[in-house]
Amino acid sequence: MSRLQEKLRGRDFDLADIETALGRLVSEGWVDDRRFAERFAESALASGRYYGARLRQEMRRRGLPSELVSEVLGQLLADHDEVEEVCAIVEHRFSGFSFSAASDKEKRRAVGFLQRRGFSLSAIMRALRTTEL
């Protein structure tokens, strides 16, 4: 809610009016940080856009409290297997990728892509090596 307050302050609204309006929006359920955090995280995980540390960073960047981020990610990431997520993204993004046959440049490209999305290096390497079987 603080980001919304800042935006409204930047538009020269009276502070008392901002507090009253935001209080009403929260009480009526129109503004809910928890719901936003859950939907954002679910969407990011489903699309493969963000995972793990990168997802946490993106949620914090959007102004969500760190306690809420930790709670929401704790619940959601418990239901996801990081190695399986990596395998699915590799299959979709790098169809036919073979770790043993790939050049060093191709390996770095794939690993870098996955790390930027927030996957751990250990999960990436396990997933890439299991695709060989």
pTM beyond 0.85, yes or no? no
Closest CA to 95 of 108, 83, 81, 110: 110
What integer pLDDT is reported at residue 133 of this predicted model? Answer: 46
Residue 80 binned pLDDT confidence (cut-offs 50, 70, 90) = confident
Type and span of the H or E element at 15: helix 15-27
> DSSP string of the chain?
-HHHHHHHHHTT--HHHHHHHHHHHHHTTS--HHHHHHHHHHHHHHHTS--HHHHHHHHHHTT--HHHHHHHHHHHHTT--HHHHHHHHHHHHSTT--TTTS-HHHHHHHHHHHHHTT--HHHHHHHHHHTT-
Average confidence (pLDDT) over 76-95: 90
What percent of the chain is modeled with pLDDT above 90?
55
Average confidence (pLDDT) over 42-68: 93
**Rounded to whole angstroms, how far apart are CA atoms 5 and 131?**
49
* 116's tokens: 């930027």
Q: Helices 66-77 & 33-47, crossing angle to 10 degrees? A: 40
The mean predicted confidence, pLDDT, of the chain is: 90
